[in-house]
Amino acid sequence: MISPPKEKGSGFGSKGLHKIQNMLHHRPRASSLGQKDKPEKHGHVHGNGGEIQWCFSQVKGTIEDDITEADIISCVEFNHNGELLATGDKGGRVVIFQRDGKGNPHFHARGEYNVYSTFQSHEPEFDYLKSLEIEEKINKIRWLQRSNPANFLLSTNDKTIKLWKVTERDKRAEGYNLKDDAGIMRDPTSVNTLRIPSFKPMELLVEASPRRIFANAHTYHINSISVNSDQETYLSADDLRINLWHLEVTNQNIVDIKPANMEELTEVITAAEFHPTECNLFVYSSSKGTIRLCDMREQALCDKHAKLFEEPEDPTNRSFFSEIISSISDVKFSHNGRYMVTRDYLSVKVWDLQMDSKPIETFQVHEYLRSKLCSLYENDCIFDKFECAWSGNDRHIMTGSYNNFFRMFDRESKRDVTLEASRENVKPKTVLKPRKVCSGGKRKKEEISVDCLDFNRKILHAAWHPLDNILAVAATNNLYLFSSKE
């Protein structure tokens, strides 16, 4: 039996645990690597009452080729009204962008975002008991709904979750009695007159301060955090456990799939999310391609699920890599709460909460890579975790691919399009041209061969504005913003 290797940050890394789990349970079977790829349909994504034509809006980040590891963006998240956009990176920093042009419809439609606040959220740590390094990389950011002038967000690395308060100050107090104008304390015996302090205008200052730190609750890497619709509790998930936290009190364990004997481990938790309106419901996905819906009203420890969503494997596609590519890297509820979308390595699936036997829609993201799985396994790309996002009206879905491509799917027309995050056309309002990948045979002029794809350029993290057709797409150290044509 293979014993789990120690990786940086915990007893397992997410990738390490996946590798072990898959190597333990795979047996070479009749390979389907030589199967012909199905041709993709390409087209514009349609909006309500017409086509959406995506235009370049902005790009944030440096152009230099020598990118430092710390600058690579690791998560992207809009707040609830889309006025703020937060990114986290591998250096532990959080950058918040604010939408400009309030009251100016021209700028508002274009979605101009500028830096609002930057702060260091996490620092590298060292676990002296386990002799392990804990990376500062931000794994997830989640906003809380705004209830007062301040904004609150949760950020997490592999081990520690922090609640940040982001506030504005545009006035400062002057006229202290026991301090001079430089802020230095005066001798009380030298105070002969009484002054009345007053507030004076000052240049806007945005401050981020940690309100609460939630630590020491996860043995393995935290892969998900999700704020409940009650705005008082949230969940955090690692490879084997899910914890429920109260923002003001403490946490409790609500899911634990760790077997008594770790050699019996067959799957790990890959993502988890609360239902957008029902505060008692949440889902979590696994490396075996299943999604479990849990109801906290039934029992405190949700080891027994209310529903299990699973699609039987297609025998014609069965191969040595079947379990690896069926692992779900992301799960997201639709805004109306009726559906959820899941992303595995090759496809995106939409599930109806009322039907757990199979997905109601399946969209192929990059089926042309099925013949490349062997080399993708060798260079570890097969373990990449792609995210997916819903449009504000739940009609469209977007997710990332390689070569800085990202895919858009229209659920009504069933049409799809491949677009690219590139600096080639960086003039605002430049309409993005659809890209096509040739998987064999004669290549047309506008197509790119699957053998020419750059697997180091990948779109793992992206977010869709909750109300408008604005996309935030992370490509290595650059953040691209795209908006619909006016």
Output the pLDDT for position 436: 92
- Residue 101: which pLDDT band, with cuts at 50, 70 and 90? low
Check residue 270 and give left, alpha or beta (phi > 0: left; psi -120 to 50: alpha): alpha
Q: Which residue has the higher pLDDT, 295 or 183?
A: 295
Answer yes or no: are the C-beta atoms of 390 and 348 closer than 8 Å: no
What is the fold of 14-165+215-484?
Answer: Methylamine Dehydrogenase; Chain H (2.130.10)
Between the ranges 202-211, 298-307, 348-357, where is the mean pLDDT highest? Answer: 348-357
Q: Please, which pLDDT band fits residue 15 given cuts at 50, 70 and 90?
A: very low
Which of the residue ranges 12-26, 111-125, 165-179, 374-388 would you say has the lowest mean pLDDT? Answer: 12-26
pLDDT digits (tens, 9 = 90+) for 227-259: 999 999 999 999 999 999 999 877 788 899 999
pLDDT confidence tier of residue 84, bands split at 50, 70 and 90: very high
Q: What are the DSSP calls for 287-346, one per residue?
A: TTS-EEEEETTT-SSTTS-SEEE-----GGG--TTHHHHHS--EEEE-TTSSEEEEE-SS
Give the pLDDT mean for 454-466: 96
For residue 40, what are its two tokens? 């993709």
pLDDT band at 300 (very low <50, low <70, confident <90, very high): confident
How far apart CA 330 and CA 313 sit, in angstroms, is: 19
Instruction: Name the band, by pLDDT with cuts 50, 70 and 90, for residue 110.
Output: low
Q: How confident is the model at residue 111 (pLDDT cuts 50, 70, 90)?
A: low
Residue 46 has pLDDT above 90, yes or no: no
* Pairing of the two strands 436-438 and 447-449: parallel
3-class DSSP assignment, residue 430? coil
160-216 pLDDT, tens digit per residue, is: 999 999 999 887 777 788 887 777 888 888 878 888 888 788 888 899 999 999 998
> Order of strands across the sheet with 54-60?
54-60, 478-484, 470-475, 461-464
Band (424; pLDDT cuts 50, 70, 90): confident
How high is the pLDDT of residue 486? 67
Q: Which residue has the higher pLDDT, 384 or 298?
A: 384
- Across the range 385-400, mean pLDDT stands at 96
Relative to beta strand 140-143, strand 224-227 is unpaired
Percent of the chain's residues with pLDDT above 70: 86
pLDDT at 197: 81
| pLDDT at residue number 105 | 46
Which is higher by pLDDT, 482 or 42?
482
pLDDT confidence of residue 22: 43
- Distance separating alpha carbons of residues 445 and 439, to the nearest angstrom: 14
pLDDT at 51: 67
Strand order across the beta sheet in which 339-343 lies: 330-333, 339-343, 347-352, 361-364
Tokens of 207: 């401050």
Q: Where are the domains of the chain?
A: 14-165+215-484
**Would you say 137 and 157 are in contact if contact means Cβ atoms under 8 Å apart?**
yes
pLDDT band for 102, please (50, 70, 90 cuts): low
Q: What is the DSSP letter of 5?
A: P
Residue 65: per-residue pLDDT? 72
As a whole number, mean pLDDT of residues 422-447 equals 84
Local confidence band at 421 (pLDDT 50, 70, 90 cut-offs) = very high
pLDDT for residue 32: 30
